[in-house]
Amino acid sequence: MILSPSYDVCIIGAGVAGSAMAAYLGKNGKKVVVIEKNLAEMDRILGELLQPGGVQMLRKMGIESSLENIDAQPVIGYGMFLDGKSFQIGYKAEKGLTGFGFRNGKFVQSLRSILFTLPNVTVIEAAANSFIEENGEIKGINFTDSADQPKQIRASLTIVSDGALSIFRPSLSKSEKKVTGYFLGLVLENCDLPYPNHGHVIMSGTSPVLLYPITSTGTRALIDFQGEQAPRMGEELKQHLLTKIGAIIPESAKPSYMNAVNAGKYKVFPNHRLPANPVLKKGAVLLGDSLNMRHPLTGAGMTAAFSDCYNLGNCLLEVKDWWNSMEIELAIKKFYDTKTKQTGSINILADALYGVMTSQDLKEACFSYLKQGGLKASEPVSILSTLSRDKHMLQRHFFAVAFHGAGNILRAKSGKAKLKRSYRMIRDAVNIISPLLMSEKPGLGMKSLLKIARKIF
Ligand X SMILES: Cc1cc2nc3c(=O)[nH]c(=O)nc-3n(C[C@H](O)[C@H](O)[C@H](O)COP(=O)(O)OP(=O)(O)OC[C@H]3O[C@@H](n4cnc5c(N)ncnc54)[C@H](O)[C@@H]3O)c2cc1C
Residue 348 sits in the site that holds ligand X (CB under 6 A): no
β-strands 218-226, 178-189 pairing: antiparallel
The one-letter amino acid code at 403 reads F
303 or 311, CB closer to ligand X?
303
Residue 159 sits in the site that holds ligand X (CB under 6 A): no
Q: Using CB under 6 A, which of the segments 45-53, 60-68, 89-97, 275-283 binds ligand X?
A: 45-53
Task: Measure the CA–CA gap between 110 and 123, rounded to whole angstroms.
Answer: 14
Residue 12 sits in the site that holds ligand X (CB under 6 A): yes
Task: Measure the CA–CA gap between 183 and 177, rounded to whole angstroms.
Answer: 16
The least distance separating ligand X from the CB of residue 296, rounded to whole angstroms, comes to 3
Site for ligand X in 49-88 (CB under 6 A): 49-50
Reduced to 3 states (helix: H, G, I; strand: E, B; else coil), residue 215 is coil
Q: Which residue among 10, 11, 15, 53 contacts ligand X (CB under 6 A)?
A: 15
If binding means CB under 6 A, how many residues of this protein chain bind ligand X?
36
Q: Other CB atoms closer than 10 Å to residue 5's CB: what's the count?
A: 6
Q: 136 with 171: CB under 8 angstroms? A: no
The one-letter amino acid code at 359 reads S
Residue 211 sits in the site that holds ligand X (CB under 6 A): no
- Which residue of the chain is nearest ligand X when measured via CB? 15
Task: Measure the CA–CA gap between 228 and 274, rounded to whole angstroms.
Answer: 15
Task: Measure the CA–CA gap between 454 and 457, rounded to whole angstroms.
Answer: 5
Element (H, E) at 206: none
Residue 301 sits in the site that holds ligand X (CB under 6 A): yes
CA 301 to each of CA 47, 194, 373: distance values in angstroms, whole numbers, following the listed order? 7, 26, 26
Q: Which residue among 73, 207, 256, 303 contacts ligand X (CB under 6 A)?
A: 303
The least distance separating ligand X from the CB of residue 320, rounded to whole angstroms, comes to 28
**Polymer length in residues for the chain:** 457
Task: Tell me, residue by residue from 166 to 195, as one string, x for binding to ligand X by CB under 6 A and - for no binding.
Answer: -x---------------x------------
Reduced to 3 states (helix: H, G, I; strand: E, B; else coil), residue 35 is strand
Task: Tell me, residue by residue from 263 to 282, as one string, x for binding to ligand X by CB under 6 A and - for no binding.
Answer: ------x-x-----------
45 or 402, CB closer to ligand X?
45
Chain residues that interact with ligand X, rule: CB under 6 A: 12-18, 35-38, 45-50, 127-128, 161-163, 167, 183, 269, 271, 288-290, 296, 299-303, 305
